[in-house]
Chains A and B, each alone.
Chain A
Amino acid sequence: MSSSDLAEPGALDQVLILAPYRRDAAYLGQLLAEYDMGVATCISADELTAYLAAGPGVFVTTHEALTPTLIDIVARHLNAQPPWSDMPIVVLLDRASPNSRIRGQLAAAWPRSRQLFYQRPLTQVELVSGIQSALLARMRQREVRDHIEREIELRRELNHRVKNILASVFSIFEMTRRGATSVDGLADDFGARLTALSNVHSAVFEAKGEAISIAEIAQLTFDPYRQMGISRIDASGPSVMLTREAGTTLALCLHELTTNAIKYGALSVPNGQVAFHWDILPDLGPDLSVLWQETGGPPVVAPSRSGYGTRYLRAALGGLFGVKPDIMFATDGLRCEIKGPLARVACNPEAPDSVSGL
Chain B
Amino acid sequence: MTSDTIGVRKPLRIYCIEDNPLIVFHIEHLIEDAGHVLAGFADSFSQLKADPAATHIDGALVDIDLADGRTGPDAAAWLKERGIPSIFVTGQQDVANLYADRVIAVIIKPIVAEDFAGKIQRLERRI
Contacts and interface: CB of A to CB of B under 8 A. Distances in A.
A155 interface: no
Interface string A321-347: 010000000000000000000000000
Contact of B109 (A167, A172, A312): A167
Contact of A171 (B25, B41, B67): B25
Contacts of A245: 19-20, 67
Contact of B21 (A166, A178, A249): A249
A252 B65 CA distance: 22
A167 B91 contact: yes
A254 B29 CA distance: 21
A175 B25 contact: yes
Nearest to A243: B67
A171 B28 contact: no
A160 B25 CA distance: 20
Contacts of A174: 26, 29, 111, 113
A226 interface: no
B55 interface: no
Interface residues of B, number: 21
Nearest to B89: A167
Contacts of B103: none
A316 to B, nearest CB: 4
Interface string B1-44: 00000000000000000011111111011000000000001010
**Secondary structure dominating the interface of A:** helix
A160 B47 CA distance: 22
B83 interface: no
Given A316-B21, A318-B21, 9 more contacts: A163-B109, A164-B91, A170-B110, A171-B25, A175-B26, A178-B29, A245-B19, A311-B28, A316-B25
25 contacts: A160-B65, A160-B92, A163-B92, A163-B109, A168-B23, A170-B110, A170-B111, A171-B111, A175-B22, A175-B26, A175-B29, A245-B67, A249-B21, A311-B29, A312-B22, A312-B25, A315-B28, A315-B41, A316-B22, A318-B21, A319-B19, A319-B21, A319-B41, A319-B43, A322-B47
Interface of B: 19-26, 28-29, 41, 43, 47, 65, 67, 91-92, 109-111, 113
